[in-house]
Amino acid sequence: MRKLHTLVLGAALAAASQAAFAAAPITPDQRARLAERLQLVDQIVRVVDADLRASANAAEQRKWLQEALYTMPLEKLRALGVPTTFGAASDAIVRADKTTQKSIGDASTDLVYRPITPCRYIDTRNVGGPITSPRSFNLGLTGATYGGSAGCNPVSASGVGSVDEIAAVSINVAIVAPAFQPGFLGVRPAGSSNTTAFVNWYLSGPTIQASNSGVVTTAQGAGDDIEFFGTQTQVVVDVMGVFSRPDATALECVTIRTQGAGTNNLPTATDYVFPIPSVCTSGYTAVGIGCEYGPAAPAGLILTSASTPGAAFYACAWRNDTGTTLDQASFNTHTRCCRLPGR
């Protein structure tokens, strides 16, 4: 049988941490911090919008600015102040990104923004008809349910485990052919009593359109997540991202096996150290090593240590007390290389 000794660091801990996060609810503190973050983002974007009016790329620059700000924790947003130009805001974001972040695995920290490729989620012209009274929608269903695209799925597109991990959704809402003027459309968590307008208009008819983008928090638990209300109109909604818990993410790992070099005979009553080369590819870190003699380890062959004798390599140290010489090519090493996957 093979004699195998392996040091593994971190993988079991990461798995346990991920299981703990899976059961953690979105907390009131996280919601309060998100509300303050969105207020600060809105304040910055409104001020910078004045600088972008003359820009040929205003829409793209505004979208980049908004999503960059969405990804920042509350403390960094507070420290930004209110830059008055797009250039000043960009520079401030770059400087802030160079400062130390809080741990993203702490359940009490800020909710994480997960941008997705914008997709059509609701189009009442295709399904449901004009909104005339509060109508709710379940973000756990695909856009095909609501007149949008079958490929528009906020849960799978954002990589969250379930719809109840979504605390808020970033959307663009367009009204089409409003029936009355003036009018307004609001969006809120399903069951909420909020009456704030999301889109306003002052003309009506089949050619009238207006739109607005923003973030709306979602109702948690069984049932629908967001609802629209207001003056009668057709509604078209694109989803651009979601805010969710800072879930722990399982490591992505590979094991790379290397064989002892050469065929030199190793005399008995001798200690040998076999360096393990740096075999992890870019982006991966060595988190564990393994030392093996095969196919069958003879009596008297002892693994004395599997350690890091130098900064440049790991090593397996063996003691040959078998009473015979051993073939170097029978000694094998393993390196466990892991990385945190992106989301």
On whether both 240 and 253 belong to a single domain, the answer is: no
On whether both 130 and 233 belong to a single domain, the answer is: yes
Tokens 């509300």 correspond to 35
Distance in angstroms (rounded) separating the CA atoms of residues 17 and 11: 10
Total structural domains in the chain? Answer: 3
Last residue of a domain, one of 193, 214, 244: 244
Could you tell me the two tokens for 246? 């800072």
On whether both 64 and 163 belong to a single domain, the answer is: no
Kindly report, residue by residue over 143-194, the tens digit of the pLDDT. Answer: 999 999 999 999 999 988 889 889 999 999 999 999 999 999 999 999 899 8
Q: How many CB atoms lie within 10 A of CB 322?
A: 16
Q: What is the pLDDT of residue 4?
A: 32
Q: Which amino acid is at 198?
A: F
DSSP state of 164: G
Q: Coil, helix or strand for 28? A: helix
Q: Does the pLDDT value for residue 198 go beyond 80?
A: yes
Work out the average pLDDT over 84-112: 72
On whether both 288 and 324 belong to a single domain, the answer is: yes
Evaluate whether 338 touches 11 at the Cβ level (below 8 Å). yes
On whether both 146 and 236 belong to a single domain, the answer is: yes
Could you tell me the two tokens for 208? 């009238």
On whether both 179 and 281 belong to a single domain, the answer is: no
pLDDT: is 337 or 182 the higher one?
182
Kindly report, residue by residue over 97-106, the tens digit of the pLDDT. Answer: 665 544 444 5
Q: Does the pLDDT value for residue 14 go beyond 70?
A: no
**Of the spans 18-22, 92-96, 190-194, which averages the highest pLDDT?**
190-194
Work out the average pLDDT over 195-221: 92
Q: Quick check: is 20 in a domain?
A: no
Evaluate whether 157 touches 117 at the Cβ level (below 8 Å). yes
Q: What is the pLDDT of residue 257?
A: 81
Edge-to-edge strand ranges of the sheet holding 252-259:
3-8, 285-293, 331-339, 252-259
Q: Does the pLDDT value for residue 335 go beyond 50?
A: yes
Evaluate whether 198 touches 214 at the Cβ level (below 8 Å). yes
On whether both 118 and 228 belong to a single domain, the answer is: yes
Q: Does the pLDDT value for residue 207 go beyond 80?
A: yes
Cα 30 to Cα 17, 65, 151, 212, distances in angstroms: 19, 22, 30, 25
Q: Does the pLDDT value for residue 312 go beyond 80?
A: no
Domain with 235 in it: what CATH number? 2.60.120
Kindly report, residue by residue over 222-276, the tens digit of the pLDDT. Answer: 778 999 999 999 999 999 999 998 766 678 888 888 776 544 566 766 677 776 6
On whether both 201 and 317 belong to a single domain, the answer is: no
pLDDT: is 299 or 181 the higher one?
181
Average pLDDT, the chain: 81
Prediction pTM value = 0.64
On whether both 175 and 290 belong to a single domain, the answer is: no
Evaluate whether 289 touches 276 at the Cβ level (below 8 Å). yes
pLDDT: is 322 or 45 the higher one?
45
Distance in angstroms (rounded) separating the CA atoms of residues 37 and 43: 10
Cα 23 to Cα 17, 107, 109, 223, 244, distances in angstroms: 11, 11, 16, 19, 13
DSSP state of 31: H
Whole-number percent of the chain with pLDDT over 70: 81
Whole-number percent of the chain with pLDDT over 90: 38
